[in-house]
């Protein structure tokens, strides 16, 4: 089974350790076979990673941002040097096509470059005081220790998305990758070490959510829990965070509406809708999960949509020509089958019926070909719950108001798409749509300098850009009464105190 030897599965305080927890087989989704076994960390090891992060904190925060950025740029270069190795690792443990994995790894490097740019851009504020001879400075200081809990669908890029802002902010961090996909994070840790990131600044512990993840989320010393994952786990983490009043930043699921208005460029909209649904086998939080199409163009759109979807090649993810790799795991595949079967039982009609292929690219892989459904009522589960697979309902709407109403009627509020050539309608969408991220005539991925944020149950807080960096910093107000004037009567509620 073991064709790659990962003897060490945790990176704590600059030391590579074998977890003391249960052994866990890492499965190649393209074959269904284990190719390496790692040992989970224990709860004690998770705590020791937090202790290591705490020890490293003051010295790291004491370095100038320019010094921190220099190390980060070295990390970016090393990620690029190892791009092909990392991309293959992403494919092996997660199953996305190699062409997409390369894009993910470019993103993993890019986050370090981007956040290094903040070396001279973290700004506080200076305000005039009510007291003569005093300045009020709002300083931006590190939050302290961050727990970065990440999912399996982008196992390399999401490490960088948490680590890079933490590093430039002067925080230290403990990363917990998803239990199915720990290898990319462990490889990233070797690069962080090689780049000269001081011991304890970045730590990686492996293991599952209810044990290792929960241990980090409920740890009193953790100042920020930055988690990307499901709504279910996000709620559990928030409950744990509440006990210690730890700040949560939660990037959760989505049910993105993809609105195509009557005057849209049809060819462009069809291509975009297909890519946005089927990339990474539909396992992206911002994926097109509900395609909403103006009634007058519905039939033509559907025909072209199905036609193009049929051409997508489901194949081994290491093949350059593959469009759709396997689902990440058998349970995840079954999770997608259930709502499709249910919707069809309730009357939905498959315009294209996919599922497990009769002639799979390999025996044992978690293959799934695309399904396109029509005649799906808005109340159906498949219109309401995130599916996270190569399945999409396509629904007509009568007018713009109906499209927006249907789009907004969701407990998720992460991403929404609008394809139109009408500038007024573009602006109307931006005004009326109630989602954290709106893509007009464009699909994802999001940009480093944007703000990736979800409304309603899609999360709290957000990642990326200057606004994402905010979560990794705290404000400190410094009253500098350099003239040593007595302070009291001038203050809004100071008189009584002065008397
Ligand atoms: P998941 O919630 O099962 O796991 C995410 C992480 O949380 C894993 O590391 C897991 O071990 C950990 N975890 C689970 N329960 C926990 C607990 N009680 N305490 C602490 N940690 C816990 O999600 P997943 O299946 O890995 O990922 C798929 C989900 O992630 C989808 O819903 C997808 O939409 C979402 N996602 C969101 C974004 C975004 O940016 N909004 C990006 C990618 C994925």
What pLDDT shows up at residue 6?
Answer: 53
What pLDDT shows up at residue 2?
Answer: 47
Residues with CB under 6 A from ligand 1: 149-153, 176, 178-179, 208-210, 213-214, 217, 227-230, 233, 236-237, 251-254, 285, 386, 388, 414, 452, 454, 459
What pLDDT shows up at residue 487?
Answer: 78
Centroid of ligand 1 to alpha carbon of 229 (angstroms): 2
Mean pLDDT for back-to-back runs of 10 residues, the chain (499 residues): 60 95 95 95 98 98 98 98 98 98 98 98 95 94 98 98 99 98 98 98 98 98 98 98 97 98 97 98 98 98 98 98 98 98 97 97 97 97 97 98 97 98 90 97 97 98 98 97 82 58
Active site annotation includes 285: yes
User: How is 412-455 classified by DSSP, letter by letter?
Assistant: EESEEEEE-S-HHHHHHHHHH---SEEEES---PPPTTS-B--E
Q: How far apart are CA 83 and CA 462, in angstroms?
A: 27
Q: Strand 473-480 vs strand 437-440: parallel, antiparallel, or unpaired?
A: unpaired
Q: End-to-end distance of the chain based on CA atoms, in angstroms?
A: 79
Nearest of 321, 313, 367 to residue 28 by alpha carbon: 367
What pLDDT shows up at residue 499?
Answer: 45
Task: Tell which atom from ligand 1 comes closest to the C-alpha of 240.
Answer: 19
């Amino acid at each position: 089974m073991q064709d790659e030897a990962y003897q060490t599965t945790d990176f704590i305080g600059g030391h590579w350790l074998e977890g003391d927890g249960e052994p866990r087989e890492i499965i190649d989704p393209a074959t269904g076979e284990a190719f390496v076994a790692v040992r989970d960390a224990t709860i004690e090891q998770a705590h020791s990673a937090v202790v290591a992060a705490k020890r490293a904190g003051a010295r790291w925060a004491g370095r100038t941002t320019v010094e921190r950025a220099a190390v980060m740029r070295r990390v970016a270069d090393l990620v690029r040097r190892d791009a092909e190795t990392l991309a293959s690792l992403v494919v092996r443990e997660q199953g996305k096509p190699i062409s997409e994995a390369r894009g993910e790894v470019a993103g993993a490097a890019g986050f370090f470059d981007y956040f290094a740019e903040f070396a001279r851009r973290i700004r506080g504020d200076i305000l005039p005081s009510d007291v003569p001879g005093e300045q009020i400075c709002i300083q931006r200081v590190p939050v302290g220790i961050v727990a970065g809990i990440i999912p399996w669908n982008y196992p390399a890029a999401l490490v960088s998305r948490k680590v890079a802002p933490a590093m430039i902010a002067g925080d230290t961090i403990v990363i917990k990758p998803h239990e199915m996909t720990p290898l990319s994070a462990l490889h990233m840790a070797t690069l962080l070490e090689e780049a000269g990131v001081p011991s304890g600044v970045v730590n990686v512990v492996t293991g599952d959510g209810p044990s290792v993840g929960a241990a980090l989320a409920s740890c009193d010393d953790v100042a920020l829990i930055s988690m990307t994952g499901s709504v279910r786990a996000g709620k559990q983490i928030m409950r744990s965070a509440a006990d210690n009043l730890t700040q949560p930043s939660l990037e959760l699921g989505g049910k993105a509406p993809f609105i195509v208005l009557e005057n849209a460029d049809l060819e462009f909209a069809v291509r975009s809708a297909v890519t946005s649904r089927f990339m990474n086998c539909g396992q992206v939080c911002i994926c097109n999960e509900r395609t909403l199409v103006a009634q007058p163009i519905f039939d033509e759109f559907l025909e072209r949509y199905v036609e193009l979807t049929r051409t997508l090649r489901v194949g081994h993810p290491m093949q350059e020509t593959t469009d759709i790799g396997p689902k990440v795991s058998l349970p995840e595949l079954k999770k997608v089958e259930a709502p499709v079967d249910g919707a069809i039982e309730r009357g939905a009609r498959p315009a294209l019926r996919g599922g497990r292929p009769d002639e799979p690219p390999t025996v044992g892989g978690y293959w799934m070909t695309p399904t396109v459904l029509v005649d799906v009522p808005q109340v159906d589960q498949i219109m309401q719950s995130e599916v996270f697979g190569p399945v999409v309902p396509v629904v007509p709407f009568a007018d713009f108001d109906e499209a927006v109403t249907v789009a907004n009627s969701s407990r998720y509020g992460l991403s929404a798409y609008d394809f139109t050539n009408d500038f007024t309608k573009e602006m109307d969408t931006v005004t009326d749509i109630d989602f954290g991220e709106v893509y007009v005539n464009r699909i994802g991925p999001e940009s480093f300098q944007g703000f990736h944020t979800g409304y309603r149950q899609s999360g709290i807080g957000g990642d990326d850009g200057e606004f994402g960096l905010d979560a990794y910093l705290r404000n400190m107000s410094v009253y500098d009464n350099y003239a040593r004037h007595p302070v009291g009567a001038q203050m809004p509620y100071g008189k009584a105190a002065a008397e």
